[in-house]
A and B are shown apart, each in its own frame.
Chain A
Amino acid sequence: MHRKARRGRRRAPKRSPVAAIAGGLGELLLTAGVLVLLFVGYQLWGTGIQTAAAQSDLRSQFALQIDNEEPEEVYDGLELGAAYGILRIERFGENWEWLVVEGVEDDDLKNGPGRYPDNVHAGEIGNFAIAAHRSGHGEPFAKFPELHEGDIIEIETHTGVYRYELDTAPNGNADGNRINITDSWVVDPVPGEPRSTEPTEARLTLTTCWPRWGSSHRMYASGLLVDVEER
């Protein structure tokens, strides 16, 4: 046998160049496949871990806001990413509730549904708007197409509890209320009217991505304030 001849540092077995290149290419492809699978794992499950932790932080933050003795100051000092309120949508489940954050940047939305910071506050005249993920990051709006006209959307802030009744929604259609990325009119003070139009009604608008696992378009639902319980 030739065993004794192989001493010292191990060497690569001799292969023809073609075999070496094919083998290397094969390893690269396998590695790429594993990377893609890992990324899918990250999107499906990895992002949710961070979101769950953030939600529990936000919940304690919100409890402090409720205890605040000067309610007016809460909105004034609200920074992007801070707790804003609790969103409840019975259509998504009886105990479905998410802590809403201030802001709609990626860094805000990875922690939960976010309030468009340039829009009015909950309960005010104008368009109070919220965006949330439908895939990954806890996927709060996973069942978004199931929203129907007439559904009640509840938002609790440190000032009170506000209920809105949807007057436009996907109504169970997977492509319902699909809009383009640039259709920012849905979050205008009076949707469909020029941005400068003075609003007279208190409206809520929700946005998310379309399709669920992509973001070539957006989806929305909207409704008017029907019930208020001031704190």
Chain B
Amino acid sequence: MYAWMWRHLPGPWPLRLLIFLVVLFAVAVALFLWVFPWVEETFEINRVTVG
């Protein structure tokens, strides 16, 4: 998967590395902003109220 990505990125290796890191960062941001809050709510792992 990662090797496949690496082969399909354009440019010399420093550029590839930069693109790779930017993609990873974007994925992490998406996880923190949308995916994790959704997981927390959906699986009710953090409820504190009765009833």
Contacting residue for A179 out of B3, B28, B50, CB 8 A: B50
Indicate if B36 sits at the interface (CB-CB under 8 A).
yes
Q: In the complex the two chains form, is A42's CB within 8 Å of B48's CB?
A: no
Interface size on B, residues (CB 8 A): 20
User: Would B48 and A187 count as touching, CB distance under 8 A?
Assistant: no
* Chain B neighbourhood of A133, CB < 8 A: 46, 48
Assess the B36–A109 pair: CB atoms within 8 A: no
In the complex, number of A-B residue pairs with CB atoms less than 8 Å apart: 72
Of B41, B44, B50, most A-chain CB atoms within 10 Å: B50
Is the CB of B39 closer than 8 A to any CB of chain A?
yes
Cα(A104)–Cα(B48), bound, Å: 9
Tell whether, in the assembled complex, residue A39 and residue B36 are in contact, meaning their CB atoms are under 8 Å apart: yes
* Contact residues in A for B31 (Cβ distance below 8 Å): 35, 38-39, 42
1/0 per residue, CB under 8 A from A, across B11-51: the answer is: 00000000000000000100110001001110011111111
Is A134's CB within 8 Å of the partner chain B? yes
